[in-house]
Copies of this chain bind each other. A is one copy, B any other.
């Protein structure tokens, strides 16, 4: 089975999940107070930016995996669907954080966001491991170092997100800052400091 349609479908879900986030950015105020209301709504813009970036990072990861994967089987299609279901879920906890950044609901919102990303990272690990173990779906000519590089890069994802989620039990705001830092760090690490 070729991977072309798996990629088209995945690109569609990534694009929609990222773009849908804007529906939740909403500021309603009487004309004269719009300026203040727009400034006050900064958590919404921040949540939009962090989530778009996070979904973008996942897309880059998915892209990097699929470059080494040549074939697909039924099980892999379903693992991919489970992964996409997690990614398409991200707009919901994002909205919760934006809405509750300044009230008592932040703990529950941060736990929901963190749990979503932790489960997503488990799905990502499953997705890649299924393809890579025994080179089940890997292209014959694929660079062995790149295969091992991705395996190494994916391993810390789950404990890092699980850790940041647990931080929410002590300090929700620290947890939210961690989520933003993880996203920012990933972009820097994988692009500005890397050679590829």
Is there a chain B Cβ closer than 8 Å to A109's Cβ?
A: yes
1/0 contact string of A3-20 vs chain B (CB within 8 Å): 001011101111111111
Residue of A14, A53, A66, A111 with most chain B CB atoms under a 10 A cut-off: A14
> Nearest chain-B residue to A104 (Cβ)?
B31
Copies of this chain in the oligomer: 4
Is there a chain B Cβ closer than 8 Å to A143's Cβ?
A: no
CA distance A59 to B56 in the complex (A): 19
Residues on B with C-beta less than 8 A from A19 are 12-13, 16-17, 20, 88
Known: A11-B9, A85-B49. A190 touches B74 (CB 8 A): yes
Residues of A within 8 A of B (CB): 1, 5, 7-9, 11-23, 25-35, 38, 48-49, 52-53, 56, 59-60, 63, 66-67, 73-75, 77-78, 81-82, 84-85, 88-89, 91-92, 96, 99-100, 103-109, 111-112, 187, 190-192, 194, 196
A-B contact pairs, 20 of them (CB 8 A): A1-B67, A5-B63, A5-B66, A16-B16, A17-B22, A20-B20, A22-B88, A25-B92, A27-B96, A29-B105, A38-B96, A48-B89, A49-B85, A52-B85, A53-B81, A53-B85, A59-B81, A60-B77, A74-B194, A77-B191
